[in-house]
Amino acid sequence: MPRRAGVPDGRMNDPAYQRLTQWLEGLDSAAVAFSGGADSGLLLALARDAWGGRVLALTLVAPYMVRQEISDAVAFASGLGVRHELLELSMPQSMEDNPPERCYLCKHALYEQLTAAAERLGFGTVLDGTNLDDLKDYRPGLRAVRELGIRTPLLDCSITKADVHRISHALGLPSWRKPTNACLLTRLPFGQRVTMSALQRIEEAERILLAHGFDWVRVRLHGGLARIEVAREQRGRLLAEAEAVVTALRALGFRHVTLDLEGYRLGSMNEPVD
């Protein structure tokens, strides 16, 4: 089980940690939009420490979410001992062609459902784990967050991804080294028709690479071509294991398998719209 804030008086001598805990002390309860990742994991853990049982974790389950992320979220919330609800969401029709504003459409649909569920369960405030570094990427979903009145403690407190990892490590949270794992739609070009078979093929390809020990992975789909991104220091090893990787991914239906020489990076599918 993740431990509580791990110093005797419940505080760390870390300015980012102190800003965030002081922000949370301004509330007495809330629901946390909980993906199972590092950002929302830290937020949920500190909310649990601040309010005890007066916190609710809400996780969206949609066709374009990575299934392992859902499993991780369930295990993390259980380890914290907080109430956790899974909310089912089908593919919104407006997102079926993966439009450039898909993140806005997704967040709007997601947070409308999360807000309704939170209110039904007695929680009037919903928190989101957006951090300061998220502003560096193309994030139209932030508009939906603001429009629907979702609060963003990490952003309000100028908490960066490095802060999240450092504080999470100090608190012994299992998510401290977890890579950012956006939804599977981010592996598809804008304007490409979304199919369950394509999403499943991408998810299985990334699962294979993770099983090979590549812990920062994206498989981007371009028609029948799989463009693999791994951490830059792991590119050489991927080339050394190329034959086995190509065989495995071709068995999933990819006609061509390539390595992106720039390596793993967030938002590479967003570059045409930056």
**Closest residue by Cα to residue 41 from 127, 140, 135, 143:** 127
DSSP letter at 4 equals S
Q: What is the pLDDT of residue 7?
A: 41
Domain at 15-170: CATH code: 3.40.50.620
**Closest residue by Cα to residue 92 from 66, 62, 58, 60:** 62
The CATH number of 195-273, from 3.40.720, 3.30.1340, 3.30.300, 3.30.160, is 3.30.1340
Q: Burial letters for 174-204: b for 16+ Cβ neighbours within 10 Å, e otherwise?
A: ebbebebbbbbbbbbeeebebeeebbebbbb
| Dihedral (CA of 88, 91, 93, 99) sign | positive
Domain chopping of the chain, boundaries: 15-170, 195-273
Instruction: List, in order, residues 6 or more apart from 162 with CB less than 8 Å away.
Output: none
Two tokens, residue 18: 């102190």
pLDDT tens, position by position, 181-236: 789 999 999 999 999 999 999 999 999 999 999 988 999 999 999 999 999 999 99
Please give the sequence-ordered ranges of beta strands (E in DSSP) within 178-231, or none if there are none: 217-222, 225-230
Two tokens, residue 31: 């629901």
Please give the sequence-ordered ranges of beta strands (E in DSSP) within the chain, or none if there are none: 30-33, 55-61, 83-88, 126-127, 217-222, 225-230, 256-259
pLDDT category, 170, cuts 50, 70, 90?
very high
Dump the DSSP string for 127-172. Answer: E----GGGGGS--THHHHHHHTT-B-HHHHTT--HHHHHHHHHHTT
**Closest residue by Cα to residue 97 from 222, 192, 184:** 192
Asked whether residue 51 carries a pLDDT value surpassing 90, the answer given is: yes
pTM: 0.86
- Residue bearing tokens 């914290």: 80
